[in-house]
Chain A
């Protein structure tokens, strides 16, 4: 038994009733998830996380993004080489290296902008929810390290007992409705419309320095 097997427990456990949750409003942009993702034994040195400032000029709000693991994954549907598979427990795998032809159909088609083509290996890679860990009862790297639990992994019951917000896994992109294994946190129930932007009201301080009340301060004396 290798020293690492203690972390991965029983390989037959599977993901079970665990869900992956993203609460963008809690993200502090620290990049711990990005760095932890590079440490994975299956994509050594490359991160499958996406983490960006929404508009740094205006705010420190950042948006972490993993594969949403769609119930009917568009990436797999558009793949001409049938390289993208979904496991029985709902995890959409990264492209199988031996099948992937590097066409980037999946990169273009994914409504969440998740898959990435790596020309140095001529293959698409994306988040597989740390299947080596999660399929054996452990946690993904990103949710393990996330200091603010903006990325979270557990059961719905645990979430409801300890966290605020409403879980949403139902997204509308124009005429396309996409349901996913990964949940995001919103403030009222119902599907999230990507074009209308309804419901995901951010918790942000408006007018942080109170200019509306005390006027604009003198900047240069």
Chain B
């Protein structure tokens, strides 16, 4: 039973989240900065370059890194204040073991022994796959490679997966199907060269802020901007064509645009015949999806759909950017394929200013799925069910192909397997499923059912509080390695400090566990550089080929784009040049997409659509950003965004407390009444735990191909349960005070 040993209040009192507002010692401590470390932000997939200011063994501030080409010094609030996660009172400083009365510190040998012996006990009783490993994509590629190899060769389980499963997998699967490989086809420097930019399901201003400027640079040249979103997000506010679609209807919208491209003969016939197969089938699939039909489904006026088709189909260059808004669906892969079809139909691949690009969410969203911690992949983005791929990897690893387990369960499926008794133990790092997975009540039930649960983390996340053993790991700035950004650019992360107290670098913990599991022979690593050198070799000849990269090259050249097969290879910023795709015949596939509605629809009991997402000041499950004071101040708690017409129908006013219920759970939060959301839809950001968790409501149903949950659409009921508390802003108070009242 991995139930938290303390009450929620006790846990918060002891382990936070507490808020850090100032550098160590306060603003006036007169800190003398003694070095500056060039590295990257620890948060999203943009991986902005940043210079960390270091004093002693503390990160005390930042400076813009003007010379790093991707962001040229630009940062969002999370990047500016990221340094406040270091020297934080909540930092875990030693391994902890759960007792009846709370967590108590234990020695490293005893903690590692306990984890290893529980792994072996559970596997002896219930089979090798009864112990699962779950990992994350904020880790360096070295760590993700290590974890995949550790799970398969040291633990010996098929069940290893990662939190990119909640993030990038729909795009990954669609790109692989249609184009033959999984990577954004373009460097971001292609965006300013576009004559039209179509953004589908991406709140760029808040979730990929640095991309905003790339789009404006295109618009400064005269580019048109089309944005499809249920909300008028900050960038959508300025769009030339806004498509305010109903959640879950993306494929219908894209189908209608393709329908119009064909009807108006705006397709690139030469490109289609020379470089693609399957156009006729894709065309047939959208033949009935006229703008009028699509208007009924999507709620977008037919004239806007026609206008979007005219803009996208105009001659010249164009990029289509998409993100979780179209990917977090039971038809997430189809949604991405429908976007790819728009790119293929207009010949928008393989040349400057052209491409259909997913905006990867996590720091190492791209690299984290390429080298072996994904349930169905081996290093180099190899396919775990392909005997040739297995043989190559086995040869590098010095094992038999039979020693490598088959494909395992995906992240969400692992939690289902805990509930039905197939998985009994788990080691988890770099992810916080209690906040991040849909239907959080069932996630907590699952964790409580585990016979043994170990977590490696630097803070006591809501998930870690369920663990039997918590191993104090390392923050981003305490270790080095590489990550692969949304662009497919591999960059070097540099350590600024060493882990405090008895905390250890994550790879040290994993290597110790491997040793204790008698698998030392597979892990001859002294540090991340050794791991990198091995992953380079193992990736050689694979799709995600890193063989030509060195840490030194990555620093000197401001990153390298894979594939980069040899040390004299310049890397590959733009894929598919000359219309040559990654399938064996060099041709891209049009995959016909037929619109399917979301798994859950509004009805009399649950009459409002819910969509979830992020705000700019928080990141994912908030384990880090809910501990950074200035970021919490900016947006302290979830608000339920709703249109004034819906508010009027509910009798709600700005700030009123509303209860939002779905078939899975309910939560209460203040209403934010704004005209910037569809009247039939509410939006709640998901960064908070417990009673404030939007994922109490979301639907855990999965895309059949990518296994991504349908976070972006479900049916809810909304009721007013309390009135707005009177608030006074600072000016009111000053005026009142001055008036002597």
Contact = CB atoms under 8 A, between A and B. Distances in A.
A147 interface: yes
A162 B608 CA distance: 45
A147 B213 contact: yes
Contacts of B676: 58-60, 208
A195 interface: no
Nearest to B238: A203
B528 interface: no
Interface string B432-468: 0000000000000000000000000000000000000
A58 B675 contact: yes
A217 B679 contact: yes
Nearest to A161: B220
Contacts of B187: none
A216 interface: yes
A62 B80 CA distance: 20
A99 B676 CA distance: 47
Which of B80, B607, B680 counts the most chain A CB atoms within 10 A?
A: B80
Contacts of A35: 77, 80-81, 630
B53 interface: yes
B602 interface: yes
Contact of A39 (B62, B216, B603): B62
Nearest to B608: A220
A217 B675 contact: no
A83 interface: no
A205 B237 contact: yes
Nearest to B233: A60
A220 to B, nearest CB: 5
B505 interface: no
Nearest to B642: A219
A36 B301 contact: no
Nearest to B605: A221
A88 B560 CA distance: 45
Contact of A3 (B36, B217, B654): B36
B220 A163 contact: yes
Interface residues of A, number: 52
B74 A144 contact: yes
Interface stretch (B26-34, B122-130, B391-399, B400-408): B26-34
Contacts of A62: 234
A32 to B, nearest CB: 5
B205 A28 contact: yes
Contact of B303 (A32, A36, A213): A213
Interface in A131-179: 139, 141, 144-149, 162-164
B238 A25 contact: yes
A28 B235 contact: yes
Nearest to A58: B675
A28 B35 contact: no
A31 interface: yes
Contact of B616 (A30, A149, A205): A30
Contacts of B644: 57
Contact of A209 (B73, B237, B679): B679
A4 interface: yes
A39 B649 contact: no
Contacts of A38: 630
A161 B97 CA distance: 62
Interface residues of B, number: 73
A208 B603 contact: no
Interface string B666-683: 000000111110111000
Given A139-B73, A145-B73, A210-B301, A32 B645 contact: no
A146 B74 CA distance: 6
A221 B679 contact: no
A218 B33 CA distance: 59
Contacts of A214: 295, 299, 301
A61 interface: yes
Interface in A176-221: 203-205, 208-210, 213-214, 216-221
B212 A216 contact: no
A7 interface: yes
A31 B77 contact: yes
A60 B234 contact: yes
B244 interface: yes
B604 interface: yes
Nearest to B615: A30
Nearest to A149: B213
Given A144-B73, A204-B237, A205-B238, A218 B300 contact: no
Nearest to B210: A147
A216 B213 contact: no
Which of B61, B77, B237 counts the most chain A CB atoms within 10 A?
A: B237
B617 A31 contact: yes
Contacts of B209: 28, 30, 32, 147-148
Contacts of B323: none
Interface in A24-76: 25-32, 34-36, 38-39, 44-45, 56-62
Contact of A217 (B21, B75, B604, B680): B680
A221 B603 contact: yes
B590 to A, nearest CB: 30
B234 A7 contact: no
B285 interface: no
B74 A147 contact: yes
Contacts of B13: none
A215 to B, nearest CB: 10
A205 B634 contact: no
B236 A205 contact: yes
Contact of A213 (B219, B235, B301, B654): B301
Contacts of B646: 219-220
A87 interface: no
Contacts of B32: 2
Given A35-B630, A148-B213, A219-B679, A30 B74 contact: no
A161 to B, nearest CB: 10
A59 B232 contact: yes
A205 B239 contact: yes
Given A31-B77, A148-B212, A220-B607, A57 B654 contact: yes
B63 interface: yes
Contacts of A3: 33-36, 53
Contact of B206 (A30, A144, A205, A208): A30
Interface in B50-67: 53, 61-64, 66
A41 B340 CA distance: 48
B25 to A, nearest CB: 11
25 contacts: A3-B34, A4-B53, A6-B36, A28-B209, A28-B616, A29-B205, A30-B234, A31-B617, A32-B75, A32-B76, A34-B77, A44-B28, A56-B674, A58-B675, A145-B75, A145-B76, A145-B80, A148-B216, A162-B217, A208-B675, A209-B244, A209-B679, A216-B645, A217-B678, A221-B603
Sorted from nearest, which 10 A-B pairs have the closest CB atoms? A44-B27, A28-B205, A210-B301, A147-B209, A28-B234, A148-B212, A144-B64, A45-B27, A35-B80, A213-B301
Interface of B: 21-22, 27-28, 32-36, 53, 61-64, 66, 73-77, 79-81, 205-206, 209-210, 212-213, 216-217, 219-220, 232-239, 242, 244, 295, 299-301, 303-304, 602-604, 607-608, 616-617, 630, 634, 643-646, 649-650, 654, 672-676, 678-680
